[in-house]
């Protein structure tokens, strides 16, 4: 087929104009200008050496040749559409998968900016992201890379520590403006947004059960996103990290702060593929920049129990530090 006729745009332009019989409407449907549409029709008529449209009493009509061409053009459009769809599926199948697992906040504050800066690298992968799922690097798992907290996944091929940060009791400033900032003495006047996602469940019953016991009431939420929406509406307080301060969050003073380590982990199969080395190094380097200098301040009192009556028995030992003031290093607010 000659190149001029094999141009899919010419066929689709003819079909659009034969349907609308009006240049402006057809051009809008195609997303082109009227002059562009006219040039396409002229090229098609020139190649076929016949008129496809004619004006009768200022109304655009199909000529007999144009009416005969509709069936041929429709079949050609269908075939070319199938060919392009097949080509697209082959190109997609040729790209390796990149299955990610991370916390919703990390997705929003780290991965989205990272993906924008590294769009060229990531274009070589089919990316899928699981949010708020415990990273599973077992033989039946499809996860290639995970950003996890507290302890590295046991079955990962590579676990790279990238820093640490504090998890604070926190709320959006709209909640604080409406109900005030909680203290140990006034917790029974506040509502705790109780997370039920797998990530928080894996931390054990602490400090969730203690907070529910001490607060006036609790409201269950299924994800950090739902908790964020609720605290922005003034419905309760939740947990927050240092990078949420730029989003209008208030990190509460005088409460325990959970110091949490961050890890970037890769599956064995992903590590063994040498073509992934550059992306792996970039993810680790940028994660170290994101998580650095986010440690909670050193404690100014001897024990957590001096300020917060946690239960004596817990499912695991704690490594708490106390937030005693709102003056934080400049790098912490960056």
Domain boundary among 40, 72, 94: 94
Domain containing 89 — which CATH number?
Answer: 1.10.10.10
Residues 124, 152, single domain; the answer is: yes
Number of domains in the chain: 3
Domain boundary among 76, 94, 112: 94
Residues 169, 300, single domain; the answer is: yes
Q: How does pLDDT run across 12-68, given as a tens digit for each residue?
A: 898 889 888 999 999 988 889 999 999 999 998 888 889 999 998 888 999 998 888
What value does the mean pLDDT of the chain take?
78
Domain containing 101 — which CATH number?
Answer: 3.40.190.10
Domain boundary among 67, 94, 121: 94
- To which residue do tokens 């924008």 refer? 116
What are 199's two structure tokens? 């990530």
Q: What average pLDDT does this structure show over 154-167?
A: 88
Residues 42, 83, single domain; the answer is: yes
Residues 311, 218, single domain; the answer is: yes
Residues 315, 197, single domain; the answer is: yes
For 295, residues 6+ apart whose C-beta sits below 8 A from its C-beta are 164, 165, 166, 259
Q: What is the pLDDT of residue 302?
A: 32
Measured distance CA(106)–CA(102) in Å, rounded = 6
* pTM for this entry: 0.56
For 146, residues 6+ apart whose C-beta sits below 8 A from its C-beta are 100, 101, 102, 135, 137, 153, 156, 264, 265
Q: What is the pLDDT of residue 198?
A: 60
Residues 84, 185, single domain; the answer is: no
Q: What is the pLDDT of residue 306?
A: 40
Residues 87, 217, single domain; the answer is: no
Residues 219, 329, single domain; the answer is: yes
What is the SS3 assignment for 128? strand
Residues 41, 85, single domain; the answer is: yes
Q: What is the pLDDT of residue 132?
A: 62
Q: What is the pLDDT of residue 311?
A: 36
Residue 1 pLDDT greater than 50, yes or no: no
What is the SS3 assignment for 61? strand
Residues 254, 214, single domain; the answer is: yes
Q: Cα torsion for 226, 227, 229, 232, to the nearest 10°?
A: 180
Packing angle, helices 8-20 and 34-48, rounded to 10: 110
Portion of the chain with pLDDT greater than 90, in percent: 24
Residues 183, 296, single domain; the answer is: yes
What are 258's two structure tokens? 């959970």
Q: How does pLDDT run across 286-298, given as a tens digit for each residue?
A: 999 888 755 555 4
Residues 44, 193, single domain; the answer is: no
Task: Looking at the chain, list the stretches that DSSP marks H as alpha helix, in order from N- to C-terminal side.
Answer: 3-6, 8-20, 23-30, 34-48, 64-94, 104-106, 112-117, 119-122, 173-179, 198-201, 208-214, 224-232, 268-272, 277-291
Portion of the chain with pLDDT greater than 70, in percent: 76
Q: With bands split at pLDDT 50, 70 and 90, how would you rate the model's confidence at 316? A: very low
Higher pLDDT, 183 or 2: 183
Stretch (H or E) spanning 328 = none
Measured distance CA(26)–CA(21) in Å, rounded = 8
Q: How does pLDDT run across 241-284, given as a tens digit for each residue?
A: 888 887 889 999 888 787 888 899 999 989 999 989 999 999 99
Q: What is the pLDDT of residue 90?
A: 52
126 phi, psi to nearest 5 deg: -95, 110
- Residue-range definition of the domain harbouring residue 40: 3-94
Residue 101 pLDDT greater than 50, yes or no: yes
What is the SS3 assignment for 217? strand
Measured distance CA(148)–CA(203) in Å, rounded = 12
């Amino acid at each position: 087929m000659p190149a001029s006729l094999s141009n899919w745009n010419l066929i689709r332009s003819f079909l659009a104009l034969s349907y609308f019989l009006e240049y402006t409407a057809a051009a809008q449907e195609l997303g082109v200008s009227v002059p562009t549409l006219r040039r396409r029709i002229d090229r098609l008529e020139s190649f076929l050496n016949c008129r496809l449209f004619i004006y009768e009493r200022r109304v655009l009509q199909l000529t007999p040749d144009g009416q005969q061409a509709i069936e041929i053009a429709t079949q050609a459009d269908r075939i070319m559409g199938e060919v392009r769809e097949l080509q697209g599926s082959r190109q997609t199948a040729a790209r390796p998968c990149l299955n990610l697992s991370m916390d919703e906040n990390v997705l929003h504050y780290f991965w989205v900016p990272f993906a924008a800066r590294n769009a060229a690298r990531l274009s070589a992968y089919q990316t899928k992201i699981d949010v708020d799922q415990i990273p599973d690097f077992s033989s039946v798992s499809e996860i290639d890379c995970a950003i996890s907290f507290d302890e590295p996944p046991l079955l990962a091929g590579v676990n790279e520590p990238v820093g640490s940060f504090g998890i604070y009791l926190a709320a959006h400033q709209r909640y604080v403006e409406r109900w005030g900032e909680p203290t140990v003495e006034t917790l029974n006047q506040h509502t705790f947004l109780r997370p039920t996602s797998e990530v928080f469940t894996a931390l054990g019953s602490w400090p969730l059960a203690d907070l529910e016991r001490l607060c006036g009431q609790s409201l269950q939420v299924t994800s950090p996103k739902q908790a964020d929406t609720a605290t922005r509406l003034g419905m309760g307080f939740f947990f927050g990290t240092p990078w949420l301060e730029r989003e209008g969050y208030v990190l509460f003073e005088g409460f325990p702060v959970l110091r949490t380590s961050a890890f970037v982990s890769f599956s064995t199969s992903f590590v063994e593929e040498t073509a992934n080395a550059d992306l792996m190094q970039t993810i680790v380097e940028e994660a170290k920049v994101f998580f650095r200098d986010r440690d909670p301040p050193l404690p100014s009192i001897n024990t957590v129990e001096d300020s917060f009556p946690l239960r004596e028995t817990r499912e695991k030992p704690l490594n708490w530090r106390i937030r005693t003031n709102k003056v934080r290093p400049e790098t912490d607010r960056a």
